Every structure is written in C-alpha cells, then in structure tokens.
Structure 1
C-alpha cells in the first residue's frame, strides 16, 4: 500500500493542523481515547512497543493516545513516555485520520511534504516513519502505533503488515488495562460500602485468650484503642446483663462443636446508651478437632429490623451481584445487581429453587462447586460460563452459612474475551518468533522448511504442507504435519503423490504463477485431482477448506505454504494473516539463502582461480589444498604456490595476507604474482625472493601486511647419487614447515623462528636455513587456520598437527592431506586453510604412478634423475 499516493496536502493550512481539527471535532472519539488510557503499570504496552522496534529494526517506537492532546503511553528510543503535546505537532495525528487498514508510510521525512514541517522531522528525531491507527471496538481511531528512525529507510509490505498485527495487540492491552481499572474501582467501592455499613470484625484466640477487635468494633462497644485490653472480660463488661447467659451459651456451643456462633444482643456503652448488635462467627479447630480460634463479624442493628439493616443496605449498594440460598437451595435474598446480571426480578426468584430457575446449572461446575462448599463448610471461588439466555462468564465466590449458601459474583465476559484475544495474539507472535529463530538458526534452509509445518499446526491450522520450487522450476513437497497423529502417515503419503495428480489450474499452480493467496473449498480440491490414489487420500483427509499461501522472495515465488481446516475448526482471519506472515518470512529466508549461495560460489570460484595447479617435477609429488572458512565470506588472504625456477629447482610457497575479505584476496593475488615474477626471473634463493618481494611492495605502494614461507628444493649430481635433496627456506613471520621422515617421525622445526613480516621494513635482512632431506621425506607448509582455535593456544594446535602427521605418514600424499583436514577442522575451519606439500620419492627407480606424469616448463633443464650424467650446479 502506497500511502503517499493517497494523501493530498492542501495549501495555506498544514496537514497536521487539519488532522488535529478533525480529531478534536469527534467528541465520541476523544472520550474513547480518554477511557482507554493505560492503568497504572504500562509494562504490557512497553513490551509491545519494544517488540515493535525489535521486529522492525528501528531505533524508536511509540504508542500514542489522541484525545484533546497527544499522550505518549509507551515507547522506546526518543519517545518521551508519559509526555503530552499538541495534536497538530504529531505524525501520529495524521496517521489516526487515515482510512481503516491503511498506514502512514514515510521513507524520507525531510523530503515528504506531508510531514516535513512537523517538529520531530525538523529537529532530526524522525527521518523515516511507519505508523498505523489504533481503533477501539466501535472502529473509532483512538491513537497510533508507530516506529521511526532518524535516518531515511524504505518500508517493506511485510513490515507494514507486521506493525498492523502489533497494533491489534496494543488495542487489546489498552482494553485489558481499562477493565482492570474498572475492577479496581469496584473493589474500592466494596470497601467503602463495608465501612459505610459499620461492620466490625473479631478474632478470639482460645489458647491465649487474646481477643482482637478492629476499629469499628472497638468504637461500637464504646472503647478506644488504649482502654480495650483485648480480653473476653472487656466484651462481657459491655454486654447487657439480661443477654449475658444466652450469649455465653451460644459462644460455648460454638466452641464445643467447632461450629457457628450467631447471636443478637445489647451493648451498654459507658455513657449509658444501649445499642443492639448482631454477631456471627465460627470456631476453627486444630488437628485434634478442638476449637482454637473464633472468628466473626458484628454490626449495629439498633433502630432497625432485619429488612432494613445496614448489611442489607450494604448488599444493595454493592456493585456486584449477591444472592443467598437456604438449605433447600431456594433463593432467600437477591440484591439489585444480581437482578440485572441474572435477568430476573426478585419477585421471580425469591422462594424458587436454584436448579429450577437455572436448569443449566445442574451437572455443571456451578452445582459441583456449591455442593462442595456446603459439604466442606469452606468458601470456594471459581470462574464458569452459563449458556443462553445469560450467555456469559462469571467470577463467583460462595461461602456456606448456618442458613445455607451465600454467593457473590461478577460478570467477566468482556475480561475473558480480552484475555483470550491477548493470549491468541501472544501465541501468534510466539509462532512467528519461533519461525524466525528456525530460519535464522543455520544455513540448512530446506531443513527449516521441513520443520515449518510443526510450528503452524495446530495453532493456526489442522494440517499443513510446505512446497518448494527446485532450481529447475519443479515444485516439490518437503514437509507436512497433521494435528491428528493417526493421520500423519496418510498425509505424508498424500504429499508424495498429489503434485503429479494436480491440473495446471489447481490453486497451488495458480499461486505459484501469480504469487497470490488462493482459497478453495476442500471438495473442489478433491474433485480437481485426477482419479487415483491422490484423490482417494485427499477424500480420506477430508479438509473443509484449503488456503494456499505463497512464499514470496524479492522477485519470484519460491514455494507454497498450504494450510487446511477440518469441518469443526473455525477459520480465524488473524490466524490466516499470521500464516501468511510465516510464509513471507520463509520466502525471504529462502531468497536470502539462494543469494548467499550464489555469492558464496562466486567468491570461492574467484579465490580458487587465483590458486593454480602445481608442477610435476620428476620423482617429486606435489599436492595442494585450499579450504575457505565456514563462517566467512569465503574469500581471504591465504595462498599456496608451487613452481619451478629456470635453474631446475622446485619452489614451494605458503602465505597469508592480513584480513579475511575481498581486499585481502585482491592483495593476495598481487603478492602471489609478484613473488612468482621475482623468483622465476631472478632464479634467486628464498631469502632473496622475499627481499625482492618486500622491495616491490614498497615501490608499488601495496599497503598490506603478509606472512610467507618459501622453500626451495635443490640437488646436485652428487646429492642425486647419494639420495639426498637440500631444502633451502626462508620465513617472513610464518609458521615453520613440518618434515615427515621416511620412518614416520616428524622433525621438530619450531625453534626456527621467522623474520619480520612482509610490508613492514623493505630493508630488513632476510635469513635462509638449509636442511638436507633423505629421499622419501614429506614436507608440509600450512597456514594458521589449520592449527589455531579460539579455545586453545597455537602451540597446542601444532602439537595436534604433529601427532596427526605421525599417525597418517604411511598414507598416499593426496589422502594424507584430505584426512588431515578432516581430523583437525572437520571440513569446516574457523579460518581459511591453505596447504602445500611435497613428497620426495626415491630416485633409484621409475617415477611412481601416484606422482603423475612429468610436467615441467620447457625452459627448465632436465632433472638429474633423467640424465645421470648431467651435473646440476649446487645452489
């Protein structure tokens, strides 16, 4: 949706002023916004605002309520929570005047004439803005949910849809907060009514004799807090002498039976005034069924009879329903609020049996709970639904009395509706979060797609199938899940045969071509299938409706998410929208994976193109390996090289340019080419080659650092006859080579430290080391990615390498390198790995087959092994 195409800015009056005037003119809307202001703790709104900023990747978010002014109810970033401001200075005011279902989409606020005059844009707080309207149950706009960044940015359709889904959760949270405030007000009114009725409470500890009265009762008996000594004697001192025997008998009976106390008596106050008091209480037993406490309440009934007592007036004033039942379950009292909630008058209810007046209460939680309270003598609390004509949810508190049962209840239908809506919204967001975590958890996108149906079912649908489009354009079902475990095997069989049985105009085929959502009755899907196994299986699955949701990438449809609903399941619009969001996220993940794979292959191909095949001098077998890092861009600065110099010597090179990116790869290509040129033109030894490379880097102004080790293998005719080859090598800050002797031992060359890195000082003096090698030796040069680990030091890595080489020394050279990579990095190194190795086969026999054919440049003189009379000069 492109909001910019729908909004026209009038001349002479800013869009913000016009929007503010429009909102202020709607008094019902202003009242609705005021009513839905959050109650006390706004943590629920804060979490939703934070979630909006997190999911859309913005620096700020805001929940605004638009009454006569703007109130920032929640937010992150630059949003000043709790602040108010003029409507005409807010982008949210413009958002709230948009038609339902639209959003205010601003990619570049400074360039957008609708908003660029508003203070948040002029001050640089808002550079990009996305907002959607918050509407109450009547459809009136009460505010806006928005996200924003200080810098311009585009907004994707999926981001707009996600913000609109979050807006529904924000409205739900506001409605729930309003209900909490209403219930808190009701509770306060109940306390005030109790105080107005002047009901006092008492607690008599029969073990210690302490008698505790509340302030109401102390005042009722004419005491004050200082002269009431908290004993039964204080009670008896105020009791009228004519009532003392009856009250004492009632108290003793309650104590002896652990039963109820019920008495009406007179109190003689110090000023001589006599007051009538009615008291009720109950004796509480210990584990041996002996009374240890007597709890109760008392109220002054002077000057009135039972029908006009303060308790009755209190019950009538309560904002909650109240009724009492006798021991035969007949109504004995019904207050005004109970008449309204039960939809019946007192005249219709008093004297009637509860089960006859409300027959649906029989064999339900109402009957079970009421009978339990009467049987146990304990209060009970529960929530329950009563069907039509009441058709509502109720919160009930029932407590037994000597006369029967008293019930206090509230209708909580709206609260239940809001809570269930909030739970469903939270469940949908949790599903999307799980899907995002699955898709971001690894590079195996097809595995994540196969698991996707298990996240969709049963929360959003009864069963589900995921289809992916192969690189050749053919659709293929890769995953499915059914809420009924008994039908899972049936569904899996259906996914194996259904695509071949579908016609070209099937809903799935149409969605793949058009990239649009497609809904179809289940019977139509079955009839479309060609007669055979697929149709029979579909008929057995028996979906009521199928909805095909495309998995859209950037410019094409990459797959389908098809959700199915059984006959008894409702199809909720919010569930379908959530499933489509899941499909969109899966499509983008697939597209990102495709782009990553293409980039990965291109980068690796470029890297390998810079690393050429080694030569094949006689009786010297050379093997190379390059393995890019598993978590990098798959290009870097590691390189190997092997070539022959004009004088006939073979030279091996290993190097590592500092860095792990395309710049390092480019620098590596330059250094490798320079080193080759210096070595092949000058026919110089390793130290001179490194010195020449360092000088060339300075002259050509190549701003990089690198390590390198160069080994040259030389042999005179005499050395040839004695079966010895000399290795002359120089090291510019690189790891030393490892030599495997013919008997499998590995020479320790770690004490041969390297010289300064390349690119630091071109005038540094380079050193050479000469090592005579018997024919049959193997020499390995490697980069640090083979031995370095985040959890161990370099020395431990080199030790692991030496141990592996000793165990693998009898393998052919190519197999040795492959097994080495598998053992040390499991084929997925943390850093790039380059290897070059040479095995000096004995020269007293034919060239081994595993060394390959002789392949040397035409300018290189023959090897002594080919012409024993040839005398190669020593180097």
Structure 2
C-alpha cells in the first residue's frame, strides 16, 4: 500500500507522531504553543505576586486542619522570626510565637472559622525571640474537601505594628483631647468615640459604637445638626456651627465637622456656660439700656407724671408681656397713668382695663395691698380675679388672662409714690433678673416723682415769695396799667426779673422794668432789694427817672449790693395845657435795658428813639446817665418788657424784636389784658426759656369817663385827687 497524500512520514515530523494525521499534528503544535504561553503567563504572574508580596511585606500560608500541617512562605517565616531552613511547618511553631494574651482567643477564632467555614480575619500579637512584640493581621479563605468540610485554609498575613503605633498615637491624642470627638461611617454609624465625647454625650463608647446617629440622638433629625452634617458630606467641605440639643443633654455645643473618605469626623465642645454668660451679658447690656432710657425719659421733662406714663413702653416687652403704671396724686389717691401691651391688637383692651381696675379693686386685692404696704408682691392672675367683683374690670382681666402678676412699689424717701404692675402671659414666668431690673425702674420713677413733688413745692414757695414782691399796680384816672410775670418753664424758676408801677407824691405815674443778672434765689433776693430801693427813692423824692437810676446805683455801692442789673424807668407827666390837648409826655431813662415800645392809636408800633442805653446798674455809680422825653397821644399803649419775651436759643435778638413788633401790630385792637395774654402765648407759648416780666400802660381819652374795661380807679390816699400828672 502506498501512503495516502494526506499522511506524513516520520521524517516529515515528530517521530512520536509518525503515521498521524496531518490535522492532529497541527493541533498538538498549537497545544504546545498555548502551554508555553500559559507557563510564561504563570511565571509572570508568580513573579508579579512575589514582587507584590515583597513590596507589601505580605506572607502567605496554607493550613491543613486534618493534619495540622502549616506551610509558610519565606516572607511569613521571617516575619515570625524563623529560619526557613529549620522551620518545621507545624501549627505548634505558629502557636509558640502568639502572644500569651492572644493565644486562647485566637485558637478559638481559628477553630470556629474551620468548623463553620466562616471568615478568617484576625489581628493578633506575636512575640519574637528577642522579646519584641509585633502586630499581625491575617485573612484567609477555606477550600472544602469532598466531605464539604475545610480541607485547606489559604491566606495571607502582614505586619500592622506601624499602623497600630500610628493609630495608637492618634488614639492617645484623641483620648487626651479636652474636646469631644467622634467619627461616623457613610451609614452614619459611630466608628470612634473618645473619652470626652462619652462624658459630653452621656453614653459609653460601647453603647455608641456601631449605632446610627439619628437613632441614638433622634432630636438631631431635621435640626441644624442633620442639615450641617449632610451638607459637609454632600459638598465635601467642613462646616462649623453652634447648636442646642434638648434633654437629656440640654446644652449648647460648638461643633466642627469635616468629611473623610470613610464618612464624617466631628469635634465638639460644650459651650452652655459660655452661652449663658453671653446671654447674661447681652441681657445685662439690654437692661442697662432700658435703665438709661428710663433715666433719660424722666430727666427730659419737668412733667414727671407724663414721663412716668410713658415708661411702660420701655418695660414691655423687655421685662414683661404688659404692664400698668400707677401714680399716687397730691390728694393721696392712686391713679393709673399709663399702660402698654406687647400685642398691639390687645392695647385697647388693656387701656379699658386700666381705666376701671382701681375703682373696682378691693383693699384685699394684692395690688391694693402692695400700694398700702409699699412691699413688692408676686401673685397669680387668678388671685386678682377671685377678689374682683362682677363687672367690666373682672371681665377685661379675664380676657387679658395673665398667669402671673408682679406689683413693684415706686418708693422714695421712705414713702410709696406709685406702683408698677407687671403682667406675664401663660408660660412666661418672670425671671429674677427681670424683676430686679423692673424694681430698679420703679425706684428711679419713684425718686423722679418725689423729686418733682419736692421741686414743685419749693418752686411754688419761691414763686409765691417772688410774686408777693411783685405787687398789683395802681389804676390812676384814665390810665390803665396791666402787668404779667411768667417764670421760666425749665431751669430755675426763681429769677431776677421784676416789674413795678406806682404813683409818685406829685401824682405822676411811674413804670419800672428790671432784670437782675442770674437765675437763682440770690438773684431773686437781689431783685427784692433793688426794687425796694428804687421804690423808696422814687416815692420819697419825686425825682425824675434819670435821678432815680442814679440814686439807685449810688445806694447799691453804699450798701455793697454785689450784683448787676438792667432797668428802664418811665414817668408819665401832664400839664393842664397838655390835658386839654390830649397828650402825655413820657420821660424815661435806661440802664442797659431793652427800650419800651409804643402802640400808637392808629395801631402802628414804634420803638422809642433815641434809644440811649446807659451803663447797667452795679458797674460804676459815677457814670453819667441820660434821660429822654417822648410825647404820646391819648389812646397810645406803652410796653416795657424783659428779654425773656424776645430772646431764643435758636434766633438772635433782632429776630425776636421783629416778632414782638409784628405781634403788637396785629394785637393792637385788643383790650390791654387780652393783648398781654395773647402776646405771651404767641411769643413763648406759655413756656419761656427765661423769666418774662411785662408792664404796660394804656392812656385812655380824658374827655370821656374812664372806660369800663379799665376797671376801677385805684390810687393811694396820699396822692392828690386830681393830679396834674397822669
């Protein structure tokens, strides 16, 4: 037989395949190539594994539980301090190196892993022959045998001593921190808790580790805690915030949280005391501001009752939900003068209650007892309702529904001058600080009220004394004289302004206006001296104005009256011929005072000219003084006044004089008394910055009877019945 074309001979190929089919030989060659490639790949992978083990210092093991045979690679043998040449490959060799404290639990863990074919993942200590202790982390997988039980445990181990030491150092630092620290994994479970965190959180780490934050501390859900923590994780940026956690912690905390690859780390401090101190400081500052406002309110006006009525607006809502201010009047009766409520819609209701409560309040009521005893009292709103009789007061209080009331007396100098009643809504119990500050408000208000009372009494006494020296003017025939004195609205109300009107022995009428420098009791006393001296000189000597001023200046020097003053003196004279002509001469002299003004019968106003303003009184008694004479028609009015009528802090004297002349022009047709009243109202609105003294004379026609509006004819008995002068 000849070989077939598709067969090869031994010479054509491998002798071992001589006589084989050509396609089988190709397959064998391909198989060889694949086997060679696999061997090369295996060697490459083995080399890479060995390099990886060496680089990572990882050793491998193969444990056969049935025989106790333990195969270690050289890396692992050296890790355990064995010589590969003498290592006996037994479990006993391994056990001999395990730390005594870890031997028992590790044996149990290994056996349990073998029995259950469960995970073998342990970290234990070994002791090397030189006594050095190292940490080893081992992990392995089970290979089951035919019976389904562990046939081999194959795994790897590496030395974690360095990691342990670094972790230990970190742990020591965290444990020594005076601040709380905990870490959370990505499932929000606690993975680390330091000692301070245990103390601050009130739970041990055994109670916290592995637990979910939101479950252990449910109040964090929906709070700034959850919002901030999730923001840090989502944004990958640290967050810092202060927050309050309710009971059982019941504290304020300062927190810093930052994301980590494993989850979130949180550092926190309890700042409850700091927060309370800050709140106390802020509250103290606020309370001091309230007291400052109260002082400013009370000091800003002499009408202390009005100022006190506004105090409730400062007290509410800072110290109470609403309040009522009570003042004891001069008659000894209490009167509610002010109230305020934190709710604007309830203020009318409180106002109505304020109007009726005292009339309905029996003496057994706590408020009435506080007023009577002058002792502070705290009581329930129901206590007041129980003693109020049926009626509007009780109904209104029931609607206001205060849970607590505090009555604080306004005390000053051993007496009660009022009451501050604070009201608190349910759930708003008054704090000790609130009551203390409110009592300070009450004390300041009480002192201000008592000061006002004393000031008013002194003021009335001094003003009465001063007015007693400003006597009523005479009423000579056909000459109507009117006077006004208005003390300053603020500052000292006792001053040195004065007016005078009298008849000289010859029957002439003399008007005087004067102003002693100063505003105090000394100025008032000096005014009394000067006025008396001038009166004595003028009424005894019948001297003209210039001689009266000269004599007064000389008397001041002789009597050593150490004061300065301005004065203007005007005398009205007539001869029988002038009576027939219907004219009057006014002779006048001026010692530094403002000149008189004349309202002519036609209503025009003129300032007397020439204005000779000689030196004021009390400077030089030898100075030369001058006198002027002006002729007046019957029907004219002459006005002498002090500078309080025209001087203002916000305007110069010329503007004041212009206002005065304008007002006189407009008011010229009024009766004399009405003219002076309206003049004061227009120029000073009844509240002058300085004392105001006025004296005016209106010369009525002598060819007719004395007009009724001029009043009766009143002259001293020593004056001739029909004097030539006016």
Same fold, judged at TM 0.5 (above) = yes
Q: 1:697, 1:759 within 8 Å by CA — same for their partners in 2?
A: yes
Which residue is 1:629 aligned to? 488
Kindly indicate whether residue 423 of structure 2 is the aligned counterpart of residue 568 of structure 1.
no
Deviations 1:698-727 (A, max 9, x none): 343333332221111111121111121111
C-alpha RMSD of the superposition = 2.5
Distance 1:797 1:424, change over 3 A: closer
Distance 1:824 1:568, change over 3 A: same
Kindly indicate whether residue 472 of structure 2 is the aligned counterpart of residue 605 of structure 1.
no
Kindly indicate whether residue 199 of structure 2 is the aligned counterpart of residue 332 of structure 1.
no
| C-alpha distance in structure 1 between counterparts of 2:165 and 2:264, whole Å | 18
Which residue is 1:772 aligned to? 631
Deviations 1:630-671 (A, max 9, x none): 223212221111111222211111112222221221222222
Deviations 1:48-87 (A, max 9, x none): xxxxxxxxxxxxxxxxxxxxxxxxxxxxxxxxxxxxxxxx
Kindly indicate whether residue 228 of structure 2 is the aligned counterpart of residue 369 of structure 1.
yes
Which residue is 2:293 aligned to? 434
* Counterpart among 298, 305, 309 of residue 446 in structure 1: 305
Q: 2:502, 2:510 within 8 Å by CA — same for their partners in 1?
A: yes
* Counterpart among 192, 208, 213 of residue 349 in structure 1: 208
The residue correspondences of 1:3-152 to structure 2 (distance < 5 A) are: none
Cα displacement (A) at 1:595: 0.7
Cα displacement (A) at 1:593: 0.8
Which residue is 2:438 aligned to? 579
| C-alpha distance in structure 1 between counterparts of 2:614 and 2:207, whole Å | 106
| C-alpha distance in structure 1 between counterparts of 2:293 and 2:613, whole Å | 51
| C-alpha distance in structure 2 between counterparts of 1:388 and 1:762, whole Å | 89
Deviations 1:761-812 (A, max 9, x none): 3344432211111212221111222223334443343333223322322222
Cα displacement (A) at 1:577: 2.1
Question: What SS does structure 2 have at the residue aligned with 1:752?
Answer: coil
Question: What SS does structure 2 have at the residue aligned with 1:305?
Answer: helix
| C-alpha distance in structure 2 between counterparts of 1:454 and 1:799, whole Å | 42
Kindly indicate whether residue 705 of structure 2 is the aligned counterpart of residue 846 of structure 1.
yes
Q: 1:620, 1:841 within 8 Å by CA — same for their partners in 2?
A: yes
Q: 1:603, 1:633 within 8 Å by CA — same for their partners in 2?
A: no
Which residue is 2:246 aligned to? 387
Which residue is 2:85 aligned to? none
Distance 1:341 1:514, change over 3 A: closer
Q: 1:552, 1:559 within 8 Å by CA — same for their partners in 2?
A: yes
Question: What SS does structure 2 have at the residue aligned with 1:400?
Answer: strand
| C-alpha distance in structure 1 between counterparts of 2:609 and 2:255, whole Å | 82
Cα displacement (A) at 1:588: 1.0
Cα displacement (A) at 1:318: 3.2
Distance 1:835 1:389, change over 3 A: closer
Mean Cα deviation higher: 812-821 or 753-762? 753-762
Kindly indicate whether residue 503 of structure 2 is the aligned counterpart of residue 661 of structure 1.
no
* Counterpart among 680, 684, 693 of residue 825 in structure 1: 684
| C-alpha distance in structure 2 between counterparts of 1:701 and 1:333, whole Å | 96
* Counterpart among 301, 304, 308 of residue 166 in structure 2: 308
How many residues in Structure 1 have an aligned counterpart in Structure 2? 569
Cα displacement (A) at 1:846: 2.6
Kindly indicate whether residue 263 of structure 2 is the aligned counterpart of residue 404 of structure 1.
yes
Which residue is 1:816 aligned to? 675
| C-alpha distance in structure 2 between counterparts of 1:777 and 1:563, whole Å | 63
TM-score where L is the length of structure 2: 0.74
Deviations 1:520-575 (A, max 9, x none): 33222211111223223323333333222111121321111122333312332222
| C-alpha distance in structure 1 between counterparts of 2:161 and 2:506, whole Å | 130
Gapped runs of 5+ residues in structure 2?
1-54, 57-158
Q: 2:404, 2:429 within 8 Å by CA — same for their partners in 1?
A: no
Which residue is 1:741 aligned to? 600
* Counterpart among 383, 388, 391 of residue 524 in structure 1: 383
| C-alpha distance in structure 1 between counterparts of 2:551 and 2:321, whole Å | 73
Q: 2:612, 2:626 within 8 Å by CA — same for their partners in 1?
A: no
Question: What SS does structure 2 have at the residue aligned with 1:382?
Answer: strand
Which residue is 1:414 aligned to? 273
Which residue is 1:869 aligned to? none
* Counterpart among 632, 651, 672 of residue 531 in structure 2: 672
Deviations 1:362-420 (A, max 9, x none): 22221122122222333221112223333322111122233322222112222222222
Cα displacement (A) at 1:471: 1.7
Distance 1:339 1:669, change over 3 A: closer
Question: What SS does structure 2 have at the residue aligned with 1:594?
Answer: helix
The residue correspondences of 1:457-472 to structure 2 (distance < 5 A) are: 457-472=316-331
Distance 1:694 1:340, change over 3 A: closer
Distance 1:485 1:769, change over 3 A: closer
* Counterpart among 634, 654, 659 of residue 800 in structure 1: 659
Question: What SS does structure 2 have at the residue aligned with 1:304?
Answer: helix
| C-alpha distance in structure 1 between counterparts of 2:562 and 2:630, whole Å | 34
| C-alpha distance in structure 2 between counterparts of 1:826 and 1:302, whole Å | 97
Gapped runs of 5+ residues in structure 1?
1-241, 244-300, 865-871
Q: 2:596, 2:607 within 8 Å by CA — same for their partners in 1?
A: no
Kindly indicate whether residue 454 of structure 2 is the aligned counterpart of residue 595 of structure 1.
yes
Which residue is 1:483 aligned to? 342
Q: 2:592, 2:616 within 8 Å by CA — same for their partners in 1?
A: yes
Which residue is 1:534 aligned to? 393
Distance 1:780 1:361, change over 3 A: same
| C-alpha distance in structure 1 between counterparts of 2:599 and 2:353, whole Å | 59
| C-alpha distance in structure 2 between counterparts of 1:336 and 1:491, whole Å | 56
| C-alpha distance in structure 1 between counterparts of 2:585 and 2:649, whole Å | 36
